[in-house]
Structure 1
């Protein structure tokens, strides 16, 4: 997520935007009050046995603590199936015409992702 946050901040002025999409999960993790999920002292809290309403509240709290520069939405099973989501996390780059031009499963690889996005931003 920090990589997406940085890319969004760097490229949003050029027309690039990020939309975080998730599905309903009955469990998750909340970062500590400082929003850091990786620091040893961040006191990440595991959350279990959530219904859909509780998951919505969990996602809201997660967003407030992490404070990414982009919004999150919860997709339906039908929406996820339409994109053939291969695993989590998945990342899709969609061009200006609405065509998926890049799919990445897992995090990292920000340099590759930025190159793909830059190429799409320059495309006519």
Structure 2
């Protein structure tokens, strides 16, 4: 949708009011067309959250000391909502790991929740392969999901921390597809949202704008 794209362009530039107008137009133009339901859902989530305070996430972290999202104010944060079973998520994580390494002043956090199924890559080399080798895991008990996540982390080679959030915390971000990424500015507001993999360049541009904006406001 051109309106969704225009909304993203405005959000990237920090013009949240105009972004919301374009996101709102997506539903109007869809006019009840059920084939466009997912597109409308993407636009609705962006429109409701862009420029607003990021919903709190108070989750257990893996790979770093646990923190509430609100405790990260003063840093730009990239939230990657993902799942171990999601191949596009795993592919995107490689690029996000590079973004984290190149921008140590930015917090990249992989947010997931408990599922009853998952996937464990054979090794780190399988993370950026479309049809990766590994182990499909079924019937994961809720109490065992943290162990599943730890094993995934060991095999994946991903350096940025993961957070195992509650279902209601993930629901606060209106996730309609995996992966979904949000960029949170230094004031704790949502500055950008995108769905799917291969979005590292967009995320990098938004992060750079927010960093520059923070410098000019000092």
Any idea what the Cα deviations from partners look like across 1:70-105, whole Å, max 9, x if unmatched?
A: 111111122112222232211110000000011111
Q: Which one has a bigger Cα radius of gyration? A: 2
Assess, with a 3 A threshold, how the Cα gap between structure 1 residues 92 and 48 changes in structure 2: closer, same or farther. Answer: same
More helix by share: 2
Partner of 2:126: 36
Aligned to 2:138: 48
Seen in structure 2, the aligned counterparts of structure 1 residues 34 and 94 have a Cα distance that, compared at 3 Å, is closer
| Counterpart residue number, 1:73 | 163
The aligned length equals 122
Structure 1: runs of 5+ lacking an equivalent: none
Give CA-to-partner distance per residue, 1:30-78, whole Å, 9 cap, x none. Answer: 0114452344896311001111122211110000111212111111122
Secondary structure of residue in 1 paired with 2:111: strand
**Aligned with 1:106 (options 189, 193, 196):** 196
Match in the other structure for 1:90: 180
Displacement of 1:118 after TM fit? 0.6
In structure 2, the CA distance between the partners of 1:21 and 1:120, relative to structure 1 (3 Å rule), is same
The secondary structure found in structure 2 opposite 1:18 is strand
Aligned to 2:3: none
Unaligned regions of 5+ residues in structure 2, if any?
1-92
CA contact (8 A) 1:20 1:70 kept: yes
Native 8 Å contact 2:121 2:135 kept in 1? yes
CA distance in 2, matches of 1:117, 1:34: 26
Instruction: Give me the whole-angstrom Cα distance separating, in 2, the residues matched to 1:40 and 1:107.
Output: 12
* Whole-Å separation in 1 of the counterparts to 2:129 and 2:171: 34
Cα-Cα RMSD: 1.9
- Aligned partner of residue 210 in structure 2, secondary structure: helix
Query: Distance in 2 between the 1:81 and 1:33 partners?
Result: 31
Quote the residue 2:98 is aligned against. Answer: 6
Q: Structure 2-normalised TM-score?
A: 0.52
How far residue 113 of structure 1 moved from its aligned partner, in angstroms, is 1.2
Name the CA shift for 1:95/1:52 in 2 (closer, same or farther; >3 Å): same
